[in-house]
Structure 1
Amino acid sequence: MSPELEQSPRSLLVCEKSSFMNEKARYDTHVSKHCFNYKVSIVIPECASLPASIGGVINSFNTYYRVRDLPLYKLLEENVIEKVVKKGHFYALSYNTRIDEDNTIAFLPTGQLILSVDKDTYEQLGLEGKPSQYKHRKVLRYVVTVDLTDKLMSPGAKGHQRLMTSLKEWVPMKCDLLITSKMTAADGDGGALRTLLSQYSFEECRPALQTRTLKETPCPSLLSSDLIGEKSCDPHHFLEWLGAVSMDISCDNEASSFLSTYVCPEPQNIMNQGLLCSITGFLIPENIYSLLLELRRYFDEPKFTSWLSMTVHGFMDSPVSWGTTEHGFLKGGENFYNFVCFRNQDYWLHMATSSHDGCPP
């Protein structure tokens, strides 16, 4: 076996314990700063079907657009930048691009444009940027961050004119994009955005929902006060168990199985039945936060379980992870966080990144 395959890529897991009732808790900040998400997985022990209240929140998730070969400068023209981008809550991310090989693009809801480009593209753009913090011996990649809310970026200003010239004439960048906005048509973005998209090949998509019932499944025992201790499962092992459940990998370590020798970590018990729910698409933080609030309400009435879990997966090839923190992809691509919500309103938060990422906030 290749030596590279024998070594697991380095990753970073940050864990914290707090309470939703704590005024100083930062769970809402962590959710809001993780902008680009493609999947949310929920595990509810001792639950047979998706509660109607949770299903209602999922059905209210924003639709998103998948548009092909959109010239980037089109999103910077006056009608769009003033009525859509600068209004806030606008998200766009290039897809079918690889962060370690291709030019990738992201629009943050704060009005920032992120370009992660190779050396040749950077030199042709003529825009100010900085070397990727994950450079090799030679700088092969650069990151350009443009604050579109700055006065210099107002249509007609010198900064905006230079940006348009760079992206329209010097490097006419086109890419496939995922686009969504929290703003409504009444706020002015509906007409401007759809008018633009109608000129190109696009489709409107809804997040997809899948549910699966778990039967007689070994399950880690968790105690809210014991994040890393003897009475609860270790965080690494717990997340590994969640991954196994999501991938429908047996946790029994049966002698007859030649596919998996995985076993549920200790301490453990048997989950008589459970619910695994997955939502996939271009998922924005506002919708995820609404779902988290509804999951907290799950314990308003007595339940057989004392905890439930929500895992949010970021795009592996997004140029950023939390906020404007650069995200990279070498051997791993970890870019996710997980909440364990307890009956007493305590929570655990796990935030994971790969070796080519900054530390989570």
Structure 2
Amino acid sequence: MLVDLDQTPRSLLVCDRSSFLDEKNRISSQVELQHFNYKVSVLLPECSSPPSHLDSVLNSFSSFYLIRKLPIHELLDKDFLETAVYQGGVYGLSYGTRVDEDNCVALMPNGRLCLSLDKDSFQVLGVEGKPSRFNHRTNSRYVVSVDLTDSSMAPGGRGHLRLLTGLKSRLCLKTDFLLSHHPGGRASLQPLLSGQDWSEHRPEISSRALTHLSCPTLLTSDLQSCDPHSLLEWLGAVDADVSCENSSSSFLSSLVCPEPKTTLSGALSISVSGLLLPQDIHRIIQEIRSYLEQPRLESWVSLTVHGFVDSPVSWGGSEHGFLRGGENFYTLLMFHDHTYHLHLATGAHNTCPP
């Protein structure tokens, strides 16, 4: 354990600065690439209560379903494929499973099904796959990725029957499963929900009013003097309600507010958690931009989107691993002049953010 404490795990951080007014800005594509989000955190400086329009957007986030002990072969059912998967915009993720130890499943909005399996399960399943890129020495974990919209996976076809037989008769994989879909699309989840033990859930919203908050001097979008790692640490500490007012002799925490700093008389921290769709995150970003156009004391807002730590994929269809933390998140720092700073961060078992 002492050896592990002496070694700082590798992490990846990609930073981008641009403007929403630039037609080549990457915000829309980045939001779409992060399919499985479990938490959105917003920090509003000099604010004591949620603005009405922002509160309305948060309360209109799409609901999602939790299916208990879903047989994964049901995702290959002909009716579900035709009424949901082929229509696009369906998001599904195994729940309560650990991507470094258990069998994990993800159904992406483009119709791709990803199975992250231990070696024994992979061999029992009997379909083509590839070793996980995050195996340490031996191939102890495998990834099976299939495009359910491909003609070879059409119901009754050879590929479809082989995977269906493997999941239904040999592996018999069952897991609790989170499911949602784009509310504006044509997909229907009823063929899958009927006959299953399921419950519908709304994203949970919480807020905290903060007073006398030490804060980096972010009065303009010029943050050359502020180290991105220190900034993200400070935002994480605020979200987790961890004090950054620590002395150099403190053994509890070494987190401090980056210099140069100022003190905010008040701020509002808002969090939304659940299976959160990219479309809802687009809407909250647009609402924050409108909020920033109003005259006010402070001219910035931060938004952080956290991906599920045990999702088998992140950043589109890239494989995701855990190791120590499973981090995959991005932070968007937005300013009143429509400029932004985008920080994309991952842990050691991840591909480089796009």
CA contact (8 A) 2:237 2:244 kept: yes
- Determine the structure 2 residue equivalent to 1:194: 190
Give the secondary structure class of the aligned counterpart of 2:324.
Answer: coil
Which segment is superposed worse, 38-47 or 121-130? 121-130
Q: Are 2:241 and 1:248 aligned?
A: yes
Q: Are 2:320 and 1:320 aligned?
A: no
Give the secondary structure class of the aligned counterpart of 2:16.
Answer: strand
| Residues in 1 aligned to 2:196 and 2:288: alpha-carbon distance in whole angstroms | 39
| Residues in 2 aligned to 1:255 and 1:128: alpha-carbon distance in whole angstroms | 55
Shift of residue 332, structure 1, vs aligned partner: 2.4
Superposition map of 1:251-266 within 5 A: 251-253=244-246, 259-266=252-259
Shift of residue 346, structure 1, vs aligned partner: 0.2
CA offset digits 1:181-205 (Å, max 9, x no partner): 1146x9351xxx2353242222110
- Determine the structure 1 residue equivalent to 2:174: 174
Give the secondary structure class of the aligned counterpart of 1:289.
Answer: helix
Shift of residue 261, structure 1, vs aligned partner: 4.6
CA offset digits 1:245-292 (Å, max 9, x no partner): 111112222599764453211011001110100001111111111111
CA contact (8 A) 1:207 1:280 kept: yes
The letter of the residue matching 2:214 is P
| Residues in 2 aligned to 1:285 and 1:89: alpha-carbon distance in whole angstroms | 10
- Determine the structure 2 residue equivalent to 1:90: 90
CA contact (8 A) 1:93 1:106 kept: yes
Superposition map of 1:291-306 within 5 A: 291-306=284-299
CA offset digits 1:224-259 (Å, max 9, x no partner): 5534x23xx211001100111111112222599764
- Determine the structure 1 residue equivalent to 2:72: 72
| Residues in 2 aligned to 1:262 and 1:183: alpha-carbon distance in whole angstroms | 41
The letter of the residue matching 1:292 is I
| Residues in 1 aligned to 2:177 and 2:63: alpha-carbon distance in whole angstroms | 14
| Residues in 1 aligned to 2:137 and 2:246: alpha-carbon distance in whole angstroms | 45
Which segment is superposed worse, 268-277 or 247-256? 247-256
Q: Are 2:150 and 1:154 aligned?
A: no
| Residues in 2 aligned to 1:335 and 1:121: alpha-carbon distance in whole angstroms | 26
The letter of the residue matching 2:236 is G
| Residues in 2 aligned to 1:168 and 1:268: alpha-carbon distance in whole angstroms | 59
2:215 to 213, 216, 219: 219
| Residues in 1 aligned to 2:144 and 2:222: alpha-carbon distance in whole angstroms | 43
Q: For structure 2, which runs of at least 5 residues remain unmatched after alignment?
A: none
Shift of residue 86, structure 1, vs aligned partner: 1.5
The letter of the residue matching 1:39 is K
- Determine the structure 1 residue equivalent to 2:231: 238
Q: Are 2:353 and 1:357 aligned?
A: no
Shift of residue 6, structure 1, vs aligned partner: 2.8
RMSD, matched Cα:
1.7
Residues 134 and 94 (structure 1), Cα distance of their counterparts in 2 relative to 1, 3 Å cut: same
| Residues in 2 aligned to 1:103 and 1:56: alpha-carbon distance in whole angstroms | 38
Shift of residue 34, structure 1, vs aligned partner: 0.2
Shift of residue 149, structure 1, vs aligned partner: 0.8
| Residues in 2 aligned to 1:286 and 1:261: alpha-carbon distance in whole angstroms | 37
Q: For structure 1, which runs of at least 5 residues remain unmatched after alignment?
A: none
- Determine the structure 1 residue equivalent to 2:326: 333
- Determine the structure 2 residue equivalent to 1:51: 51
Which segment is superposed worse, 217-226 or 47-56? 217-226
CA offset digits 1:30-77 (Å, max 9, x no partner): 000100011000001111110011111111111001111110111211
The letter of the residue matching 1:99 is V
Residues 3 and 176 (structure 1), Cα distance of their counterparts in 2 relative to 1, 3 Å cut: same
| Residues in 2 aligned to 1:43 and 1:148: alpha-carbon distance in whole angstroms | 39
Give the secondary structure class of the aligned counterpart of 1:35.
Answer: coil
| Residues in 1 aligned to 2:86 and 2:245: alpha-carbon distance in whole angstroms | 53
| Residues in 1 aligned to 2:64 and 2:17: alpha-carbon distance in whole angstroms | 33
| Residues in 2 aligned to 1:360 and 1:143: alpha-carbon distance in whole angstroms | 20
Percent identity between matched residues is 50
Superposition map of 1:21-170 within 5 A: 21-170=21-170
Tell me which stretches of 4 or more aligned residues in structure 1 moved more than 6 Å: 255-258
CA contact (8 A) 1:103 1:115 kept: yes
Which segment is superposed worse, 51-60 or 217-226? 217-226
Which segment is superposed worse, 342-351 or 292-301? 292-301
| Residues in 1 aligned to 2:69 and 2:192: alpha-carbon distance in whole angstroms | 13
- Determine the structure 2 residue equivalent to 1:18: 18
The letter of the residue matching 1:293 is Q
Give the secondary structure class of the aligned counterpart of 1:252.
Answer: coil
2:272 to 273, 276, 279: 279
| Residues in 1 aligned to 2:154 and 2:267: alpha-carbon distance in whole angstroms | 53
| Residues in 2 aligned to 1:13 and 1:156: alpha-carbon distance in whole angstroms | 45
CA contact (8 A) 1:224 1:346 kept: no
| Residues in 2 aligned to 1:255 and 1:3: alpha-carbon distance in whole angstroms | 25
